[in-house]
Chain A
Amino acid sequence: MPSLFHNYDPGDFFDEMFVAPGEVRPHYRMLLQRAEGLSVDDFNRKRQIAERAYLNQGITFTVYNDKQEGTERIFPFDLVPRIIPGDEWRHIERGLKQRLHALNAFLHDIYHEQRIIKEGVIPEEIIRSAKHFRPEFMGFDVPKNIYIHVCGTDLIRDRDGRYLVLEDNARCPSGVSYVLESRMTMKRVFPQLFARYGVRPVDRYAQDLLDVLHHVAPASAAGDPTTVVLTPGIYNSAYFEHSFLARSMGIEIVTGADLVVQNDRVFMKTTKGLKPVHVIYRRIDDDFLDPKVFRPDSLLGVPGLVEAYRKGNVSLANSIGTGVADDKVVYYYVPAMIKFYLGEDAILPNVETFLSAVPSDRKYILQNLENLVVKSANESGGYGMLIGPRATKEEIAHFRGLIEADPRNFIAQPVISLSRSPTWCDGSMQGRHIDLRPFILCGEEVRIIPGGLTRVAMREGSLVVNSSQGGGSKDTWVLDGGSGSC
């Protein structure tokens, strides 16, 4: 019987599983042994079980096309896990904690003294022009001085296997529900393998998140806060996740229409009248939170919410204004921030980045567009992006125009050859590019569930892993032991 990994070609990339054809990395050895006892039919059966489980549980996201109504799709899920040895994970964890401390210190500073500007580390212009900077909140003290409670930082590995930070998601990062659900699915599909592998569990996440939310509750809650998840509604693409988290924490999920503000206090409308709300885990962007303060046309928000927040009667996670920290131009300065606030070197380096706002960089970018990845400062989901080597002449010309018109809004990076992982595609194992989004929680202390969301670009050669662009996911296993232990 030919093995599933027979003839697998790791190619000229950093492959997570194989050093070279037929030469497996030690922490994948047991997985390979298990796979050898599995026929393609067995494997397909397991895939069907997993797919059915996703469909039956309604683990879907909504895709919107032009004009068409949204359709629900399941997130493609690949059964080959991504495995991270314990020592490697400890390195990542240290780096992420360091980064989050620096980002929170930066946000406090930027909304108070702005020392980092005064001391010339970041130009004032960059902050002032950041799309998600909220000058309305200058001088405002957020509860417990925590700005980013939940952060999703995207990591990639380069050709040498080095972990690099690609971007931070400091507003409403999503995807953690897939981490938890895919773990449950894998346990169902490969029960014996799990028991022997020493995979660190992830199921603490909901409890940890609830602890964070309770930690920032206003004093008026008197130790018994009412905490809710605020969702844009069932048609939002991440609604499954919002409801999943509410269920896992045992708290209510609300829409803006369920909340009212009276005398600067927030209440939810219940069948027995109005009930006070103390902490809101909001999955709505700043812009839509309160039509009285931000976008007046927002139907998702709650009029008066921001004033209640200012008065300290309700806490929000994440805080308002954290978007300035995940602006891609500000990202460029994160290693400098780490140095500035913590006096340390960044444990996890950034990807080399050029700012088109800086004249010398801009010149370089415009001369090398066909070799670079260009990103606009505030887009996500794989939109607003140019991958030079894959782009047509017209696309390159289009971006050249965009950059020249608004240099502040673009950055460029060399094309990183992301690491690959064996992935089941069209009936065989093929190398596909992956990234990793760990979820960092900041409450009384910083906690990270081991692993995170491994996203995989299912299309051959593609570097774009976003679900809206045909990306899928894998379960991420962080092992108790180090790389040599399996």
Chain B
Amino acid sequence: MLSRVGDSTYWMGRYIERAENNARLLDVNVQMLLDFESRRDGTERQFWGPILSTLEDTELFDELHSEFTAAAVLDYVTFEPRNPNSISSCINYARENARAVRDQISSEMWEQINALWLYFRDGSAARDFRANSHEFYDKVTFASQLFQGVTDATMTHGEAWRFVQAGKFIERADSTSRILDLKYHILLPSGEQIGGNVDTSQWTSVLRSCSGMEAYLKIRKGDVTPWGVAEFLVCHDEFPRSIRFCVDRLDEVLHDISSTEEGRFRNEPERLSGLLRSQLDYATIDSIFSHGLHEYLDGIQEKLIELDIAFHRTYCAY
């Protein structure tokens, strides 16, 4: 497979996943705020700033906006063309990458991604967003999942497919860490206790935004606690959006690409993914919390960035 094709399929996988995760992130924030709508005593920045911090986008946002409003943040993360990570930009990039490798992907994949792009371009997306933002974000999430499903069902599971998977899982691991981190940035209304009603309902929103509510309840028997949710989203080995699950799959797919036995490494990305995988395999929630959840998640994000660079150097820009 051409290196350029590898690069494009990888980024196609990443961008479509990023579009989905941004939709999830915004939706969870809207949901969280609904829970104490009547008691909001802070500024807009207090409630919407965390989204930008967690996406590391505060600076660009402030450059583009003199005023800080909820609507501006929603627009910035959803539609802003000058934000390279807005949902709309992600869909553009995903389609552009798909266009560059149209000969490698199935027509069904192309049509799915192109339809999503047209949905944004012809104004339907903006209309749906204004009518009902929750349904709109659902729709974006579902379109991305449809794309993943079509990819699995119509694309040869060869090298190019593995690059799509690598992109998808590295992005999803990163996103789950950011969604989880969002909770860290959001302040509780004054007088609320950690573990109290609002706190619990916020953790519930975090779970929902990762489609993890039902799975969590089955395992935890109805007990939504901060450490329970964090443990579930970081360490669970079978839930498909947990960080550990994503890193496990990433490690597998990297080893498949080079036909290296798991547990060994032949190149830098495999070494880094193996390292991160074993760190997650042996992590406990106590050790994570004593380290500090936010710091722990930051560390994971840094390692994923290193991995991305090593991956690119090994396969695409040698």
Q: Which residues of A contact B (CB under 8 A)?
A: 55-58, 234, 239, 243-244, 246-247, 251-255, 257-258, 268-272
Residues of B contacting A271 in the complex (Cβ-Cβ under 8 angstroms): 1-3, 6, 159, 163, 257, 315-316
Q: In whole Å, how far is A425's beta carbon from the nearest beta carbon of chain B?
A: 24
Rounded to whole angstroms, the CA-CA distance of A61 and B102 in the bound complex is: 15
Q: In whole Å, how far is A55's beta carbon from the nearest beta carbon of chain B?
A: 6
Q: Which of A55, A56, A258 has the most CB of B within 10 A?
A: A56
Residues of A contacting B103 in the complex (Cβ-Cβ under 8 angstroms): 243, 246-247, 251-253
Residues of A contacting B102 in the complex (Cβ-Cβ under 8 angstroms): 58, 243-244, 247
Q: A56 to B4, Cβ gap below 8 A? A: no
Q: B4: which of A239, A246, A269, A272 is its contact (CB, 8 Å)?
A: A269
Contacts A57-B107, A246-B103, A271-B315 given; indicate if A258 touches B114 (C-beta within 8 A): no
Rounded to whole angstroms, the CA-CA distance of A257 and B2 in the bound complex is: 11
Q: B111: which of A57, A243, A272 is its contact (CB, 8 Å)?
A: A57
20 residue pairs of the A-B complex, CB under 8 angstroms, read A55-B114, A55-B118, A56-B114, A56-B115, A57-B107, A57-B111, A57-B114, A58-B99, A58-B102, A244-B102, A247-B102, A251-B103, A252-B5, A257-B4, A269-B2, A269-B3, A271-B6, A271-B159, A271-B315, A272-B1
Kindly state whether residue B285 has any CB partner on chain A within 8 Å.
no
Rounded to whole angstroms, the CA-CA distance of A342 and B33 in the bound complex is: 83
- Look across to chain B and name the residue whose beta carbon is closest to the beta carbon of A249: B103
Residues of B contacting A58 in the complex (Cβ-Cβ under 8 angstroms): 99, 102, 110, 114
Kindly state whether residue B96 has any CB partner on chain A within 8 Å.
yes
- Top 8 nearest A-B pairs (CB, nearest first) are A247-B103, A246-B103, A271-B315, A243-B102, A269-B3, A271-B6, A58-B114, A234-B100
Q: Which of B3, B107, B257, B316 has the most CB of A within 10 A?
A: B3
Q: A254 to B2, Cβ gap below 8 A? A: yes
Rounded to whole angstroms, the CA-CA distance of A271 and B5 in the bound complex is: 9
Residues of A contacting B316 in the complex (Cβ-Cβ under 8 angstroms): 271
Q: B2: which of A55, A57, A258 is its contact (CB, 8 Å)?
A: A258
Contacts A243-B102, A271-B257, A271-B316 given; indicate if A57 touches B4 (C-beta within 8 A): no
Rounded to whole angstroms, the CA-CA distance of A272 and B111 in the bound complex is: 29
Q: In whole Å, how far is B261's beta carbon from the nearest beta carbon of chain A?
A: 18
Residues of A contacting B115 in the complex (Cβ-Cβ under 8 angstroms): 56
Q: In whole Å, how far is B148's beta carbon from the nearest beta carbon of chain A?
A: 19
- How many residues does chain B have at the interface if contact means C-beta atoms less than 8 Å apart? 23
- Look across to chain A and name the residue whose beta carbon is closest to the beta carbon of B105: A247
Contacts A57-B107, A57-B111, A247-B102 given; indicate if A270 touches B1 (C-beta within 8 A): yes
Q: In whole Å, how far is A306's beta carbon from the nearest beta carbon of chain B?
A: 22
Residues of A contacting B99 in the complex (Cβ-Cβ under 8 angstroms): 58, 234, 239, 243
- Of residues 107 through 127 on chain B, the ones whose CB sits less than 8 Å from some CB of chain A are 107, 110-111, 114-115, 118
Q: In whole Å, how far is B253's beta carbon from the nearest beta carbon of chain A?
A: 13
Q: In whole Å, how far is A472's beta carbon from the nearest beta carbon of chain B?
A: 21
Q: Which of B6, B96, B102, B257 has the most CB of A within 10 A?
A: B102
Residues of A contacting B257 in the complex (Cβ-Cβ under 8 angstroms): 271
Q: B96 to A57, Cβ gap below 8 A? A: no
Q: A252 to B2, Cβ gap below 8 A? A: yes
Rounded to whole angstroms, the CA-CA distance of A55 and B102 in the bound complex is: 15
Contact with A along B1-34 (1 / 0, CB 8 A): 1111110000000000000000000000000000
Rounded to whole angstroms, the CA-CA distance of A257 and B102 in the bound complex is: 18
- Look across to chain A and name the residue whose beta carbon is closest to the beta carbon of B102: A243
Rounded to whole angstroms, the CA-CA distance of A246 and B110 in the bound complex is: 15
- Of residues 288 through 317 on chain B, the ones whose CB sits less than 8 Å from some CB of chain A are 315-316
Q: A255 to B114, Cβ gap below 8 A? A: no
Q: B118 to A56, Cβ gap below 8 A? A: yes
Residues of A contacting B118 in the complex (Cβ-Cβ under 8 angstroms): 55-56
Q: A268 to B2, Cβ gap below 8 A? A: yes
Rounded to whole angstroms, the CA-CA distance of A234 and B315 in the bound complex is: 21
- Look across to chain B and name the residue whose beta carbon is closest to the beta carbon of A231: B100
Residues of B contacting A253 in the complex (Cβ-Cβ under 8 angstroms): 103
- Look across to chain B and name the residue whose beta carbon is closest to the beta carbon of A253: B103
Q: In whole Å, how far is A343's beta carbon from the nearest beta carbon of chain B?
A: 44
- Look across to chain B and name the residue whose beta carbon is closest to the beta carbon of A58: B114
Residues of B contacting A247 in the complex (Cβ-Cβ under 8 angstroms): 102-103
Q: A56 to B111, Cβ gap below 8 A? A: yes
Contact with A along B165-192 (1 / 0, CB 8 A): 0000000000000000000000000000
- Look across to chain B and name the residue whose beta carbon is closest to the beta carbon of A252: B2
Contact with A along B68-103 (1 / 0, CB 8 A): 000000000000000000000000000010011011
Q: A255: which of B4, B111, B315 is its contact (CB, 8 Å)?
A: B4
Q: B110 to A57, Cβ gap below 8 A? A: yes
Rounded to whole angstroms, the CA-CA distance of A58 and B102 in the bound complex is: 10
- Look across to chain B and name the residue whose beta carbon is closest to the beta carbon of A275: B2
Rounded to whole angstroms, the CA-CA distance of A107 and B299 in the bound complex is: 65
Rounded to whole angstroms, the CA-CA distance of A234 and B98 in the bound complex is: 10
Rounded to whole angstroms, the CA-CA distance of A246 and B6 in the bound complex is: 17
Given contacts A58-B102, A258-B2, A271-B315, 18 further A-B contacts (CB under 8 A): A55-B118, A56-B111, A56-B115, A57-B107, A58-B99, A58-B110, A234-B99, A239-B99, A243-B99, A243-B102, A247-B103, A253-B103, A258-B3, A258-B4, A269-B318, A270-B1, A271-B3, A271-B159
Q: In whole Å, how far is B24's beta carbon from the nearest beta carbon of chain A?
A: 26
Rounded to whole angstroms, the CA-CA distance of A308 and B217 in the bound complex is: 65
Residues of B contacting A270 in the complex (Cβ-Cβ under 8 angstroms): 1-3
Residues of B contacting A243 in the complex (Cβ-Cβ under 8 angstroms): 99, 102-103
Rounded to whole angstroms, the CA-CA distance of A258 and B2 in the bound complex is: 7
Rounded to whole angstroms, the CA-CA distance of A270 and B158 in the bound complex is: 14
Q: In whole Å, how far is B171's beta carbon from the nearest beta carbon of chain A?
A: 19
Residues of B contacting A269 in the complex (Cβ-Cβ under 8 angstroms): 2-4, 318
Residues of B contacting A246 in the complex (Cβ-Cβ under 8 angstroms): 103
- Look across to chain A and name the residue whose beta carbon is closest to the beta carbon of B315: A271
- Look across to chain A and name the residue whose beta carbon is closest to the beta carbon of B115: A56
- Look across to chain B and name the residue whose beta carbon is closest to the beta carbon of A247: B103
Q: In whole Å, how far is B67's beta carbon from the nearest beta carbon of chain A?
A: 29
Rounded to whole angstroms, the CA-CA distance of A252 and B5 in the bound complex is: 10
Residues of B contacting A252 in the complex (Cβ-Cβ under 8 angstroms): 2, 5, 103
Q: Which of B96, B100, B163 has the most CB of A within 10 A?
A: B100
